[in-house]
Amino acid sequence: MTSADLAARFASPVVEDFIEKGAHRFGQTLDAGTCGELLADLKADRAWGADLFLEEEAFDADPQYRGVNPRAGRNLLERFADRLAFIEQAPQIVAGLTAVLGQGYRILDRKVVCGVPDSAMPGWLKTRIAGNPVNNLGPYVRPQYRDVTYFYGIDFHQDLIDFKGREADFLTLYVYLSRVGPDDAPLYLLEGSHNLGAALFPHDLQRTDPEHWRYRSADQAIDCRQVLLLGEAGSVFMWHACTLHGTQPDATDQERISLRYLFERAPGSEAGMDRINAQLLGPLQLDDTRIDLDAEGAARIKANSVNQA
């Protein structure tokens, strides 16, 4: 199918946003009250503070860096699956997903993500992870609480980072359950960064002015506009698997609890993703996606670009 054929068949404002920016903002699409009710019940499940974490001695006695994220059978959101239709069946969201992924798209993953506030971070842990590019706190959380992904700032990355050898044929949908302001660990996104395709993490980025970065991959370089994803409860965002995004640590005294979905298209289906990916200048997949971890899965690089944002 030619580029003209793809453009004619898969014309949509959402697809155009993905081609130009690598992302689409739905805005405040969901009912804030319903988001608040779900959030209240999630919060009631546990104390979202310092008690989440292991003591330093307990961690050092048996450090585990792998297998500490939510998975089937250990995923808090599974217990709330019957509450999620207001998201998964919202007409605007369904239309946007269908435009990009085609009919019959599927949920690849869904989970609760929590930006841990500075006030809840144990001192020993803050010292240990300072400067790490990816502060996924799963290794340091008590085993019974590893049904949520907890973070304390994550450098600019692609969601393809977790999918070695897989083509970038899926997307991320992100839901703010509460108001997210500048200090609530909002997401930073680099518009157009998807154009260089799949790239090894950490990424080669240079800040050129307060709103732009120079992004290099292989022998190519492009300029990307930085946008800050702020919003009220019910705000929804969607981006390509190769779009760079990240977050700084939560600077408030309140955790930021949101939902993250990954959606994939049905095998063999044609979709707007074909048109989007046909525009990319780089590869759609990598055999290795990151070089920041050692053999045990611990960070071996101290570098973080998003903290300069």
- According to DSSP, the residues that pair with 215 across neighbouring strands are 205, 222
Per-residue pLDDT, averaged over 266-276, amounts to: 92
Confidence tier at 25 by pLDDT (50, 70, 90): very high
Q: CB–CB of 244/215 below 8 Å?
A: yes
Query: What per-residue confidence (pLDDT) applies to 261?
Result: 98
Alpha carbon 58 to chain centroid, angstroms:
29
Query: What per-residue confidence (pLDDT) applies to 253?
Result: 86
Q: Which of 308, 42, 64 is nearest to 175 (CA)?
A: 42
User: Residue 283 region, left (φ>0) first, then alpha (ψ -120 to 50), else beta?
Assistant: beta
Q: Which of 209, 213, 169, 206 is nearest to 188 (CA)?
A: 213
Class of domain 3-308: mainly beta
Task: Answer yes or no: is pLDDT of 1 > 70.
Answer: no
Query: What per-residue confidence (pLDDT) applies to 8?
Result: 53
Query: Considering the entire predicted model, what is its pTM?
Result: 0.95
Contacts of 8 (CB under 8 A, 6+ apart): none
Distance CA 36, CA 15 (A): 30
Distance CA 283, CA 169 (A): 12
Per-residue pLDDT, averaged over 145-151, amounts to: 98
Distance CA 177, CA 39 (A): 6
Give the single-character DSSP code of 214: E
